[in-house]
Amino acid sequence: MKVLDQPQGTAWGMWSTCTPADSDSKNVIHTITKNLSGVYYKPLYVTRQVLAGINYKFFCEVETASKDSHTFYSLLSIHEPLHGYSYITEKKTFDGTNLSTGWSYYEPITSITGKIFEEATEELPGVHYKPIAVSILVNQGFFYKFLCYSKGLYENTHTHITLITIHESISGSPLIQGIETIIK
């Protein structure tokens, strides 16, 4: 019989806070993805929900093993039922290919993209954003989609995964177009 532990500080049925992936959660994702050829999922952060078993949302770094190999990021949702086998319920990929035509693959932050990010976000109160990768589209200037770790600046806050869209016009400063929480 499987014993379910509700993550501390959450009500039954609610999602836990986003935490670095631990060995138990890494075992869950490894069991699901070990037979996938040509791709490796490295879980970075996880959130859990106890509901008819356990639901997981993993924020992963994904490496492909191909001639044109590249690293991208993915949000992988897995359900681990009380009885039976775990399975993937949803996959959202952040690799440029699921966005409109013309977006680049997500790439590491450079000194140039880091400066653009800092300039656009310097006035955001109460939250610290740390960009981890960026996808770029050239269209009447530059559009940037930054994948970020975000954390409130007050005590006892938790890490979130956030997507921030910034537009830098040909003749202007970079401006935030949107902020989307990917995983809480």
Tokens 């200037």 sit on residue = 141
Percent of the chain residues past pLDDT 70, beyond the cut: 89
Query: Looking at the DSSP assignment, which residues form a beta bridge with residue 147?
Result: 133, 163
Residue 171, pLDDT > 90, answer no
Q: Compute the distance between CA of residue 57 and CA of residue 88 in angstroms, rounded to an integer.
A: 10
Report helix, strand or coil for 113: helix
* pLDDT digits 0-9 by tens, 93-136: 877 655 556 788 888 899 999 999 999 998 888 889 999 999 88
Reference 21, options 67, 75, 64; nearest CA is 75
Exposed, middle or buried by CB within 10 Å (0-12, 13-18, 19+), for 169? exposed
Which residues, at least 6 apart from 61, have a Cβ–Cβ distance to it below 8 Å? 41, 42, 44, 71, 72, 73
- Model pLDDT, residue 3: 46
Residue 86's alpha-carbon distances to 7, 54, 75, 174, in angstroms, are 19, 9, 16, 43
* pLDDT digits 0-9 by tens, 41-54: 999 999 999 888 89
- Model pLDDT, residue 12: 54
Q: Which two tokens stand for residue 30?
A: 């490894």
In the structure, what pLDDT confidence band is assigned to residue 59 with cuts at 50, 70 and 90?
A: very high
Report helix, strand or coil for 166: strand
Residue 11, pLDDT > 70, answer no
Q: Compute the distance between CA of residue 36 and CA of residue 7 in angstroms, rounded to an integer.
A: 29
In the structure, what pLDDT confidence band is assigned to residue 157 with cuts at 50, 70 and 90?
A: confident
Residue 8, pLDDT > 60, answer no
